Amino acid sequence: MTVRFGAVTVDWFGLAAIRIAGQTGAVIYIDPGPEEYGVLDGHEPRDGDLILVSHDHHYDPDSIRRVAHEDAIVVVHDSIDAREIDRVDDQPEDLSYEVERVRADESFVLGPLDLFTMPAYNDPAGPHVDETGTPYHPEGAGCGFAVTVDGVTACWPGDTDRLPVHDELDVDLLCPPIGGTYTMDRHDTAALAETIVPDLVLPVHYDTFPAIEVDEDAFVVDVARRGVPVVIDR
């Protein structure tokens, strides 16, 4: 799926894998892995200037190598530890790129790009917990990202419930999860869109596998009725 919005072009490949390219040439990838879901599906451009990885579920060195050029900067959440991930061996610092670790409450500038992070987690008292009552995404184990490219601020909140911090977002393009089970669902996201009123909503993190299948048409109707522009894959 490709969307042109303002001065940027946005591609969604499935799950949370997003490519944002500005007219001035900057290319950002958000959560390009894991490779096991085939979200990149042969996509191997090695054109990424900046690769953002929100938490361990989306950390995949092979996927990073497929999208990053040799001088890329890779930004990962501070909690990511390859020793805790069965399918990977390389720590972020083992990759042949400049690697920066971030917390969930930082703002910084990388060349022409402005970025900030935000908390991303599941409430232990909420619905997104496993059979033992443990959140799928514990607090402190991940983040969301917002990045400003050529005057457009795009936001991926991460694998998360809707949190109070999200109500304070001021973004142009919101790329939220809507699949439920592990994240906020389409109802949560529609309510968030009505609260912050971005210029466009492009939902992600749905339909890649059965547990996150959703009625995307119902989501579009819900958001549109709230007066917020929305686009989905067709």
Q: Give Cβ neighbours of residue 164 (< 8 Å, ≥ 6 apart).
A: none
**pLDDT on residue 210:** 94
**pLDDT on residue 234:** 64
Tens of pLDDT along 11-34?
A: 999 999 999 999 999 999 999 998
**pLDDT on residue 18:** 97
- Low-confidence residues of the chain: pLDDT under 70: 234
Tens of pLDDT along 141-170?
A: 999 999 999 999 999 999 999 999 999 999
**pLDDT on residue 3:** 94
Instruction: Decide if 158 is inside a domain.
Output: yes
Instruction: Decide if 231 is inside a domain.
Output: no
- Return contacts of 186-193, CB within 8 angstroms, 24+ apart: 186/214, 186/215, 186/216, 186/218, 186/219, 186/222, 187/222, 188/161, 188/162, 189/162, 189/219, 189/223, 190/219, 190/222, 190/223, 190/226, 191/162, 192/162, 192/166, 192/167, 193/223, 193/226, 193/228, 193/230
Instruction: Decide if 105 is inside a domain.
Output: yes
Instruction: Decide if 112 is inside a domain.
Output: yes
Find where tokens 């970025």 sit.
Answer: 115
Tens of pLDDT along 175-189?
A: 999 999 999 999 999
For residue 120, the 8-state DSSP code is -
Number of domains in the chain: 1
**pLDDT on residue 194:** 98
For residue 113, the 8-state DSSP code is E
Domain that holds residue 65: 2-224
- Domain with residue 129: its CATH number is 3.60.15.10
In angstroms, the CA 22 to CA 172 distance is 14
Instruction: Decide if 232 is inside a domain.
Output: no
**pLDDT on residue 12:** 95
In angstroms, the CA 220 to CA 146 distance is 23
**pLDDT on residue 39:** 87
Instruction: Decide if 181 is inside a domain.
Output: yes
